Chain A
Amino acid sequence: MRRLLSLCVVLCLGLLARAEDRVSWEITPRVTAPGQPFRLQIMVESDIVLGAAQFISREIKPPRGMALRLSGQLIRPDSNEATFNFSGVAPEQLGEHVIPSFNLRFARKVVLVPEIRLRVSDQVTYRREAQARAELVLPDRVFYVGELIRGAIRMRGGENEAVVASYGLESLAEGFSMAVTAERQALPDELGQGLQTTFDLTPIREGAGEFSLNGIMLVQSGETGVFNQGGRDRPFAFRRRLTVAHVPERGRPPEWNGAIGRFVAEGLQISKDKPEVGEPIRLRAILTGDGNLDRILPPELKGDETWDVLPATERRRHAEDQRMFVYTLVPRLPGKLRTPAVRLAAFDPATKTFSRLEFKPLEITVTGNAPAQVDLVTADPAAPVAAQPKPATGLATPEPNRSSPFFRGSPEGSLGDAAGFWSANATVLGLVVAATTVTGILGYLAAHPEIRRRRRARALMRAALAEAEACRRRGDARGFAVAVVRGLQAGVAARLDAEDQAMTQSDVERVLPDADRARLDGLFLRAQADRFAPAPPLAAAGDADADLALLRRLLATR
């Protein structure tokens, strides 16, 4: 009895005890080299049916420098097991890296995954060149506010893997504005197989900021088979701490207007090289080079005694990496003048020095008279004043009610400015021209009926030719002859301006003088033997190719 009771207690305890979730993980390979791809598998076993987990990518926080991406989850319906696969790339730093504990959120419960450890060692044999890898190309120096920094992510293929695509680029840049300039471009030949995405960074405030970039590239290995297509995702992650400073005030020229980079003053262009005094011309200064062309303030031009400068309007050309500053200049004096000097200064972030740029002035010949020219008056004060006869003029008496039938209208706008005047006239003119052209074409065709007749005959001959070919393939000798003769009659009738049915061998000879009469007779006999009486047995068929050639020759005759 006691044994039975203890057995019942054990059974009841077993039923009442809450089953625990079992979580296990495995990293392949267990120890990796720096930058080596690895796979992480997490297995979950629970006492209830689990289903799919949600928000995994949000929950898992890989350590600095490690790229990790969920590749997929294996879930069977009505099963209390789930498997999660991740692909990752080990950090460059040696040592043990810990993925902190995180939650897997299933529909009915939350399962806690313990922390996962990955050991990175340089004792592991790993050839970096064999695998596809991503590299961040960014200058390693202090950056300056307003500078244009050109960067790139190079996704280089390895000996065993090729990069075929990339997607999901995410960036976080505190204190920077970032713009992707080109995505998934092929790498230059010297860098081997792969893709690259280029971007522009512009620091917008001073200080140190974190810059991170994540993304995924699709790599394809050489091994392909029925169950292995060879394509797999591989994440990449970069984190860089960037330091930004202001352009130094020491040695900064007064004409510096925000230019950071290396620039070249291409030259000046003018819209007219011989203007009049007071006639506005356009002056264009073209600046090229590598730097923040978009952020440069246009250099100020001041007017002087020779030039007046009006507010500038500018155009930019992004494609050619150049910037154009446009000014309107008005010459104030005649003669040979030089355009005002356009100067600017630029800061080179590589050498940390300022440089001055000046566009070479152009010489312009200004025509016209100087404004200060005064006409001298030569008058003799002692001379007697000549009595000038005053012209007989005066205002006429107003006649406001006078009207003229022909001169009515408004001085506000002329008829030519009225909406629709010119378009209506142009439309009607177009219609008249079209109608006249159509009438002319129809009249010409009516005057030359042979054009239509020969066109119809050519169509009939082509049809007969096709039918004859078909009959020959079928072995229908009579049908062949009938088709050829019908075509010959149609063609000859159009030439001789007669009826098709009335054409005989002699008529064909008139049009085709070198045609073989015996062949024509045989052809017509085969075709028209049953015209007036039952047909006799078929005579031996002649050379079908020669018969067809006859018809083709007639068709080709103009």
Chain B
Amino acid sequence: MKTFALLLLCWLAPLAAADAPGAAETAYAKGDYAGAVELWSKEIRAEGVTAARLAALGNAEWRLGRKGRAMVCWERALLIDPRDPVANAGIKHGLDAGGVDRPKPTAVEEYAAFLTADLWLLLAVASFWTAVLCVAVPRLRGRAASEGNQWTRVVALTLLALCFPGLWGSRSLDARAVIRKPEVSLRLTPTQLGEPMSGVSEGDVVRTERPLNGHMRVRTADGKTGWVRAGEIEAVRGPGLPADLDQKAAP
């Protein structure tokens, strides 16, 4: 019992701890957003990605006017923690006042946003195995299933059924990207001379469909479809920090 209590304490300790503001937070509070970006980026590289760090980095990027990087940070923060308040507030601010567009989430996506993709998958796998073992164990033991076993089966199968839309919605949420270049044209065809149809601006979130010839077919928030160059967008699902698109490839 003592051991269990100790473990629980260790688990909850970080939640209760009220850390003193770090150098990055201080820089952000003083308006040194470039310094805050540098410090948070260093922190993420050294200590790993968390939703809160990404959301904070997104805020600093937004303050610097880099909408594309900021949206990437916030969207990735929401992939880790769909209810992160800072990231949600940042996206809401970008949509309402920042001139950024984002496809309205479908009902399934809103449902999926209740948990992360990994949690949906873990829940589905756990409920599936519970149901399988509830069926298999009594057979292996050569005994009839107890009433508790029957109830467990029902609960597990119900959970499994509830997980399917979550998994589907998570998959749909993953198939999105953020426009990273200012003034990107949606082209009619995936070619160098493809005719520009309409424009999308930096920070807009688009749904991605299929790649072809170095381009990606995308659908914007207002339903327009077209092709953009693969280098003009960055997928929402990706490594923690936004990609540096100006960096040249190593020879």
A residues in contact (CB < 8 Å) with B:
276-278, 280, 303, 308, 310-311, 328, 330, 332, 371, 390-391, 393-416, 425, 429, 432-433, 435-436, 439-440, 443
* Residues on the B chain within 8 Å of A436, using CB: 135-136, 139-140
Interface size on B, residues (CB 8 A): 76
Which residue of chain A lies nearest to B139 when distances are taken between CB atoms in the complex?
A436
The answer to whether A310 and B213 have CB atoms under 8 Å apart is yes
Which residue of chain A lies nearest to B87 when distances are taken between CB atoms in the complex?
A396
* Residues on the B chain within 8 Å of A439, using CB: 139-140, 142
The answer to whether A401 and B19 have CB atoms under 8 Å apart is yes
Report the bound CA distance from A522 to B147 in whole Å: 62
A-B contact pairs, 28 of them (CB 8 A): A278-B189, A278-B217, A278-B225, A310-B189, A328-B213, A332-B189, A371-B188, A371-B195, A393-B96, A395-B63, A396-B85, A396-B89, A400-B24, A400-B43, A400-B50, A400-B53, A401-B17, A401-B52, A405-B11, A412-B239, A414-B118, A432-B132, A432-B136, A433-B136, A436-B135, A436-B136, A436-B140, A443-B139
B residues in contact (CB < 8 Å) with A:
11-12, 14-15, 17, 19, 22, 24-25, 28, 40, 43, 48-56, 59-60, 62-63, 76-77, 79-86, 89-90, 92-93, 96-97, 116-119, 121-122, 125, 132-133, 135-136, 139-140, 142, 170, 174, 188-191, 193-195, 197, 212-213, 217, 225-227, 236-240
* Residues on the A chain within 8 Å of B119, using CB: 406-407
* Residues on the A chain within 8 Å of B212, using CB: 280, 310, 328
* Residues on the B chain within 8 Å of A399, using CB: 52, 56, 86
Contacts A308-B191, A396-B90, A429-B132: A404 and B81 contacting too (C-beta < 8 A)? Answer: yes
Min C-beta distance of A240 to chain B, whole Å: 50
Which residue of chain A lies nearest to B117 when distances are taken between CB atoms in the complex?
A414
The answer to whether B79 and A411 have CB atoms under 8 Å apart is yes
Contacts A308-B191, A398-B56: A410 and B140 contacting too (C-beta < 8 A)? Answer: no
The answer to whether A308 and B142 have CB atoms under 8 Å apart is no
CB-based closest 6 A-B pairs? A398-B56, A407-B81, A396-B89, A308-B189, A411-B76, A330-B189
Min C-beta distance of A429 to chain B, whole Å: 7
The answer to whether B90 and A395 have CB atoms under 8 Å apart is yes
Report the bound CA distance from A391 to B98 in whole Å: 11
Tell me which of B28, B89, B238 contacts A411 (CB under 8 A): B238
Contacts A403-B15, A411-B49: A443 and B142 contacting too (C-beta < 8 A)? Answer: yes
Which residue of chain A lies nearest to B85 when distances are taken between CB atoms in the complex?
A396
Tell me which of A308, A310, A432, A435 contacts B188 (CB under 8 A): A308
Which residue of chain A lies nearest to B53 when distances are taken between CB atoms in the complex?
A400
Report the bound CA distance from A277 to B225 in whole Å: 9
* Residues on the B chain within 8 Å of A415, using CB: 117-118, 121-122
- Most chain A beta-carbon contacts within 10 A, residue among B48, B86, B227: B86
Min C-beta distance of A23 to chain B, whole Å: 74
Contacts A407-B81, A411-B80: A310 and B52 contacting too (C-beta < 8 A)? Answer: no
* Residues on the B chain within 8 Å of A402, using CB: 52
The answer to whether A410 and B97 have CB atoms under 8 Å apart is no
Which residue of chain B lies nearest to A439 when distances are taken between CB atoms in the complex?
B140
The answer to whether B22 and A401 have CB atoms under 8 Å apart is yes
The answer to whether B140 and A435 have CB atoms under 8 Å apart is yes
Report the bound CA distance from A40 to B145 in whole Å: 97
The answer to whether A412 and B194 have CB atoms under 8 Å apart is no
Contacts A391-B96, A393-B97, A436-B139: A411 and B59 contacting too (C-beta < 8 A)? Answer: no
Which residue of chain A lies nearest to B39 when distances are taken between CB atoms in the complex?
A400
Report the bound CA distance from A394 to B83 in whole Å: 17
* Residues on the B chain within 8 Å of A308, using CB: 188-189, 191, 193-194
Min C-beta distance of B194 to chain A, whole Å: 7
Report the bound CA distance from A401 to B59 in whole Å: 15
Tell me which of A330, A393, A398, A435 contacts B136 (CB under 8 A): A435
Which residue of chain B lies nearest to A368 when distances are taken between CB atoms in the complex?
B225
Which residue of chain B lies nearest to A428 when distances are taken between CB atoms in the complex?
B129
The answer to whether A412 and B195 have CB atoms under 8 Å apart is no
The answer to whether A398 and B86 have CB atoms under 8 Å apart is yes
Min C-beta distance of B26 to chain A, whole Å: 11
Which residue of chain A lies nearest to B227 when distances are taken between CB atoms in the complex?
A278
Which residue of chain B lies nearest to A391 when distances are taken between CB atoms in the complex?
B96
The answer to whether B190 and A280 have CB atoms under 8 Å apart is yes
Report the bound CA distance from A398 to B56 in whole Å: 5
Tell me which of A276, A303, A332, A393 contacts B92 (CB under 8 A): A393
Tell me which of A278, A303, A393, A400 contacts B52 (CB under 8 A): A400
Known: A400-B24, A436-B136. 7 other contacts (CB 8 A): A395-B62, A399-B52, A404-B51, A409-B80, A411-B237, A415-B118, A436-B135
Report the bound CA distance from A416 to B123 in whole Å: 12
* Residues on the B chain within 8 Å of A413, using CB: 237
Contacts A310-B191, A391-B97, A425-B125: A397 and B86 contacting too (C-beta < 8 A)? Answer: yes
* Residues on the A chain within 8 Å of B190, using CB: 280, 310, 330
* Residues on the A chain within 8 Å of B240, using CB: 410-412
Report the bound CA distance from A276 to B135 in whole Å: 49
The answer to whether A395 and B56 have CB atoms under 8 Å apart is no
The answer to whether B50 and A414 have CB atoms under 8 Å apart is no
Min C-beta distance of A444 to chain B, whole Å: 11
* Residues on the B chain within 8 Å of A405, using CB: 11-12, 15
Report the bound CA distance from A328 to B84 in whole Å: 45
* Residues on the B chain within 8 Å of A330, using CB: 188-191
Which residue of chain B lies nearest to A308 when distances are taken between CB atoms in the complex?
B189
Which residue of chain B lies nearest to A309 when distances are taken between CB atoms in the complex?
B191
The answer to whether A400 and B56 have CB atoms under 8 Å apart is yes
Min C-beta distance of B224 to chain A, whole Å: 9
- Most chain A beta-carbon contacts within 10 A, residue among B24, B119, B139: B139
* Residues on the A chain within 8 Å of B193, using CB: 308
Which residue of chain B lies nearest to A332 when distances are taken between CB atoms in the complex?
B188
Min C-beta distance of B246 to chain A, whole Å: 22
Report the bound CA distance from A436 to B136 in whole Å: 6
Min C-beta distance of A335 to chain B, whole Å: 15
Min C-beta distance of B51 to chain A, whole Å: 6
* Residues on the B chain within 8 Å of A408, using CB: 50, 80
The answer to whether A395 and B25 have CB atoms under 8 Å apart is no
The answer to whether A398 and B28 have CB atoms under 8 Å apart is yes
Report the bound CA distance from A439 to B125 in whole Å: 25
* Residues on the A chain within 8 Å of B96, using CB: 391, 393
Report the bound CA distance from A278 to B226 in whole Å: 7
The answer to whether B25 and A394 have CB atoms under 8 Å apart is no
* Residues on the B chain within 8 Å of A403, using CB: 14-15, 50, 52
Which residue of chain B lies nearest to A414 when distances are taken between CB atoms in the complex?
B117
The answer to whether B11 and A394 have CB atoms under 8 Å apart is no
Tell me which of B51, B52, B59, B197 contacts A395 (CB under 8 A): B59
Min C-beta distance of B185 to chain A, whole Å: 11
Min C-beta distance of B206 to chain A, whole Å: 14
Which residue of chain A lies nearest to B51 when distances are taken between CB atoms in the complex?
A407
The answer to whether B121 and A407 have CB atoms under 8 Å apart is no
Report the bound CA distance from A115 to B83 in whole Å: 104
* Residues on the B chain within 8 Å of A435, using CB: 136, 140
Which residue of chain A lies nearest to B79 when distances are taken between CB atoms in the complex?
A411
Report the bound CA distance from A303 to B188 in whole Å: 13
* Residues on the A chain within 8 Å of B89, using CB: 393-396
* Residues on the A chain within 8 Å of B56, using CB: 398-400
Report the bound CA distance from A503 to B9 in whole Å: 77
Report the bound CA distance from A303 to B190 in whole Å: 13
Which residue of chain A lies nearest to B24 when distances are taken between CB atoms in the complex?
A400
